[in-house]
Amino acid sequence: MEKIKSFIYLDEYKMYSISSQIFEGITEYLIDYQEDAKEERESRPVPTGSGRIMADILKSESGTQEKRYLHDYSYKIFEDHLRESERILSLSKENIDDCIKQIDNAGFIQVRAKAIFNDIDIIKSTIGQINELGKALAYITSFKEIERMRQQVETGMQSIKDRNQKAKHRQKFKGLTNIEKLAKDLGLRQDPEYLKQIALVLDYGFRDQFTVQMPIGRYRFSADCKREDLREDVHSLIRKYSRFSEKEFILVGTMAQGSGKPVDRHKGNEDDYEPQHIKEAIMAIVERLSVVESAFSGKLANEIIIDPIAIYREV
């Protein structure tokens, strides 16, 4: 029985862009339909088979509310064609060692593995609130002890008549129940300036990046996903499947950066070169900027970057 695809990500524009080239005539057929919607076109050449189905799907949703199930069916036709025409290389833990050598020459890549969801927005938000969260956790975990001490203080205060002694007693209680100190003692508080600088580095290097990573053996397949093409909210996605998923996902896309070693852009003796033209100066800045950016976006030696079209589970 054929398995059903449950999508968490689908880049519809990319899928239809490639499909318009695979299934000849889709684009022309759509333009003809939009321009001459009321004319009879029985004599005109139109796509046949899967190409005609995909064109009809695109046509049927023109000017109407988006129908995701039509995109899903379009994708099925799209992937079936890639498989039938042997344009897609499928990788999994069962065949990774045998097939990895073919990856740089593959048109399309399909990776089957457990997924890691890396949302930089959640990380930045957590860092920004980590000390407040630490105080909250310290208070919650120490609540019973704080209440016990409060009752002891109130009981002891009743037997103290001197105002100065009462003030000292209250001050001692405040010191013992200082939430910030409790959080620090529990390892739940970090230096605020350190956190600020971490947030700045993350914001510069990663922006609002959402990455899905799929490790297979010693290889790591990474795909930077557009948030608008996710089928559900990132928080919901992570709550549902966990940041490190227990279930396997399937990633389909094209090669962005291959399996070779990262390019070393640092040219040893060029640091002593004096630019003679403004264009050379700008290019020198770009070269140095690329070195800084590689610390964030440069791929690892064992990493393969995929430009994603779809990510889904089979059920």
First to last CA, the chain: 11
* Model pLDDT, residue 33: 44
Same-domain pairing of 214 and 295: yes
- Is there a domain that residue 301 lies in? yes
d(CA 30, CA 36): 10
Q: Could you say which of 151, 182, 198 is where a domain stops?
A: 198
Torsion angle of C-alpha atoms 55, 58, 63, 64, degrees rounded to 10 = 130
* In a domain? residue 194: yes
Please state, in angstroms and rounded to a whole number, the distance separating the CA atoms of residues 61 and 67.
7
Of 282, 287, 295, 294, the closest CA to residue 270 belongs to 287
Mean pLDDT of the chain: 78
Residues 194 and 229 in one domain: no
Q: Is the pTM of this model over 0.85?
A: no
Bridge partners of residue 314, in order along the sequence: 5
- 42 vs 236, more confident: 236
Residue 72 domain flag: yes
* Confidence label for 207 from pLDDT (cuts 50, 70 and 90): confident
Domain boundary among 198, 217, 243: 198
Does residue 194 share a domain with residue 175?
Answer: yes
Q: Is residue 294 part of a domain?
A: yes
Same structural domain for residues 235 and 256?
yes
Q: Are residues 152 and 214 in the same domain?
A: no
pLDDT exceeds 80 at position 263: no
- b/e map 44-59, b = 16+ CB within 10 Å: eebbeebbeebbbbbb
pLDDT band at 40 (very low <50, low <70, confident <90, very high): very low
Same domain, 217 and 190: no
Q: Which domain holds residue 43?
A: 5-86
What would the pLDDT profile of 174-190 be if each residue is shown by its tens digit?
A: 666 678 888 887 788 88
pLDDT-wise least confident of 175-179, 198-202, 229-233: 175-179
Other CB atoms within 10 Å distance of the CB of residue 222:
21
Domain boundary among 198, 222, 248: 198
Please check whether residues 127 and 69 belong to one and the same domain: no
Q: How confident is the model at residue 37 (pLDDT cuts 50, 70, 90)?
A: very low
Torsion angles phi and psi, residue 92, rounded to 5: -155, 175
Q: Report which of residues 290 and 312 the model is more confident about.
A: 312
Are residues 90 and 108 in contact, defined by beta-carbon separation less than 8 angstroms? no
Q: Tell me, yes or no, whether 173 and 225 share the same domain.
A: no
Please check whether residues 178 and 194 belong to one and the same domain. Answer: yes
Would 105 be classed as within a structural domain? no
Q: Cα(55)–Cα(30) distance, rounded to whole angstroms?
A: 7
142 and 82 in one domain? no
**Is 225 part of a structural domain of the chain?**
yes
Residue whose C-alpha is closest to residue 201's, from 297, 299, 296: 296
Helix 234-241 to helix 120-158 angle (10° resolution) is 80
Please tell me which residue, 19 or 116, carries the higher pLDDT value: 116
Nearest partner of 225 among 121, 310, 312, judged by Cα: 310
What is the number of structural domains in the chain?
3
Kindly state whether residue 110 falls inside one of the protein's structural domains.
no
